Every structure is written in structure tokens, then in C-alpha cells.
Structure 1
């Protein structure tokens, strides 16, 4: 129905400011989700699941949404992930090795851990209906079961083979921890190894919640990534690949936090 599509379009416009938990996240980089791999509709650049022509519906809905995110149209996983750790990592982060991932990052993992089909939504469109589910086997797949990655949370079995549904984040950058607590960890002399929050934010990093006191600001997936960024060669800026909030030329994004 055209009315439904107009409503969905208005919902997408409203989400350009990405309201989350009453807070408007600042837009980063050239916006244009229609031109990216996050466009799972028939107009996207991956094989679609069916004839769904709406773009935003795979993540957002103006009505009947989940409270987990901004007009969120997906159910998040309830699994507990294993986080990254190492002998040189802050004792604060090491203590959160099996902590729950915070809601902001769970939005990303609801697709990217591969445990739930990326075509499974809460509130499908009236004219098409529930998109045909792809296999939720830990692999990012399209409607024709072609692997679409990247998948986060893939671990290894004892024999070294891939375990696609291990919920293992131990080989990924740490998330869901308070940056200030790590920066102030004197046992690792982290003040000499990490920039301050103000310095990192000035260089483009986003801590969440953005309006929280520094002591409560966390590193999450969206500290470095923006799912709506267009990094296409002809339509956007390739320097923002893959979905970065600021270009990483010369490792600028990494060096926004890390003193090297």
C-alpha cells in the first residue's frame, strides 16, 4: 500500500538522527543506506529474499516496534558472548569477559552474529508479508543461501575448525566497556597508552551514551561504525568503508583512541 510506504519513508527520515533511548546520535559521514549492503530490499546489491521493495523495514518500523532500539523491527538475541581478553588488557575489561553486550551493540549483533536470520522482522509490511527467513546458522546469508558476511561471533572448535554459532567475540575489538575506567587503570599505565575521551571524540570517535558523564561513556559497535554510511565509489565516499564514522586513512580512527 502506498500509504504504508509513505509512513515507512517518514520513519526513515526521522531515523536519520537515530534516536536511541531519548538521545539523538550525531550523523557521521555521507548518508545513503540505499546504496549499501544494508539495503536488503529488491533494489539492493545482494540477492534479495523475496519481492520486498522497502529498505528500512529490515531494521525499523514506525509502529509496533521493539523497545530495544530506535523504532527497532527485530528481536535481539539473548545469548551471552565471550569478549576479547589478553595478558596486556586492562584488568577492568578482563573482568567483563562474559558480561552481557549492551543494547546499542546488540542491535548490530541481531544480524551480525548469524544466530537470527537477517530477514526476520517483527512487523512486516502489509503488501509483502514476513520476508522469507534465511538460515540462522551463524552465517550471514541472503535469500538464496549465498554467504554475505561479515559475520561477528564466529569462533573455533578445539580442532581448529570454524564454529559458526559460538557467540565468540574474543577475536574482535572489545565492546560494552566504560572507556574512562580503562583509561584510568594505573596497573597498566593506560593514561600513557590511551587518549582522553575529549581527545578521542574530537578525532571522531563516538562513545555511548553520547550525553552521559565521561565516567559512564562506553565503547560500542557504533563507536566506530555507522550503518547508514554510503561508501560507494560513485555515490558516497570510499574512505568510510566499511561503514566507518570517520575515515581510517593512516589508521586515524585507531589512533583516535590508541597512542602509538
Structure 2
């Protein structure tokens, strides 16, 4: 359920919080009401779909999922080749992003529409991943692009942080082997940095389901604590 109050659109859960029916502690650290909760898109006129009121459907499905990419995954994987980070100080050369990072990039590289999913609720339809809805196109700053970042008539968001494109040369390297044999890297605590098969991926530093530490960081980076968990400086 979505309720519109002026320019503010809230989910039914958020509305119950406002009424005091549900404590914020009960939903602390969850995707509900966060920037990854795309249920609000149902209210964007000309952009919303009939399934936009479902929080989890943009990434997960209980049936006919793509298990090769992630748990009960409901999005097509990007098929593009990425320009990678390069530096003469790198100990290991990054490879193409691994499955854990491709899950994130399936939305954040802008090549696949955000509302492109494999399994729609209650029907067996695969949506064309090239569908223009909710897909970033820097040459077309029209309603389809505006709607990915802000409500109609409300202040805009910064889409630069939402869409990296396929050039990852100015992003922290992912798909890179974490070599602990060098004194320049520490063995990170497992509860702080999550290596994926011995590699750094997007999910090493970000927890997509927990918005408490922006931007979805896995742990607080005050004093560069997250950075120093890996880098010996």
C-alpha cells in the first residue's frame, strides 16, 4: 500500500510507523523505506508498473529465479565489458566484476532498466531488459530519467551516485584478488569486510539491505575505519 501526502510518498509500513503502530526499532537496518525500497515507484505517473508496490520483487523472486547470479535473483545480469580501475600502485590487477558486483551493477551501471525483472508476480513473463523505463540515458534528460531520482515536482536527486556507467576506472576496484601477502594490506575482520571467494566486490563494503550507515556501508567509516580495515597506512 502507498499513501501520498502532498509531495511525500510513503509505503503502508512507513505510514504505520508515522502513526506509532510500528516502532522504528523493529525496522531498523532493513531495506523497507530505504533508497533500495523501490515500492514508491508505483506513484510515479507514466513510469510505475502494476508490481511496483512490492519491495523485494526488484531483486528477488521465490520462483524461476536465476540462481547463477545470486539467491533467488530476479534480474538479468549485465553482459557489457567494463573499463576497469588501473594504477601503478596496484598489487593485483582487477578482473571483470564478479557475480556479487554484477548484482549491484544490473541497476547501477545504467544499461538495464531498473524495473526489468525476470519473473513478474503471478505471471510467467520475462521483461525485455532493453525496455526504456527506468533506464538511464545521459542523452535524454526527460521524464524517464528524472523519475529515476525524484518525485515529480520535488527536488531532484544526484543520479551520478546512482549510475556509474560502464567506466569503472574512477571507482574502487572490484573483481580484484585480495592479496594478504603484501604488508600494505591487512587481513580484514570477517565482520567488517566481506571478501567473496578471496576477492573484493561491491558487497565487501556495502550491505544493500541495511541503510543505517550511508551509503549502505557494511560498517562505520568514521576516521576511515572501513578503509583501514584493509589498507595498512
TM-score by length of 1: 0.63
| Paired residues for 1:29-178 under 5 Å | 30-42=28-40, 49-51=48-50, 52-67=52-67, 68-90=69-91, 92-93=92-93, 96=94, 99-126=95-122, 133-138=132-137, 144-146=144-146, 147-148=148-149, 149=159, 150-154=161-165, 167-178=166-177
CA distance in 2 between partners of 1:114 and 1:241 (Å)? 21
3-state DSSP of counterpart to 1:84: coil
- Length, aligned pairs only: 186
Shift of the 46–207 alpha-carbon distance from structure 1 to 2, 3 Å rule, reads farther
Structure 1 stretches of 4+ with a deviation exceeding 4 A read: 43-48, 129-133, 141-144
1:259 aligned onto 2:197:
no
Structure with more of its chain in helix, by fraction: 1
> How far apart in 2 are the matches of 1:36 and 1:219?
25
Deviation at 1:178, TM superposition (A): 1.3
RMSD, aligned α-carbons:
2.9
Q: Deviation digits for residues 30-54 of structure 1, max 9, x if unmatched?
A: 5310121111113899887234211
What TM-score, normalized by structure 2, do the two folds share? 0.70
Residues 190-205 of structure 1 correspond to what in structure 2 (within 5 A)? 190-191=182-183, 193-196=184-187, 200-201=188-189, 204-205=192-193
Q: Which runs of 5+ in 1 are unaligned?
A: 1-29, 155-166, 185-189, 210-216, 232-239
Answering whether residue 205 of structure 2 is matched by residue 224 of structure 1, we say yes
Cα deviation, residue 105, structure 1:
0.6
| Alpha-carbon offset, residue 144 of structure 1 | 4.7
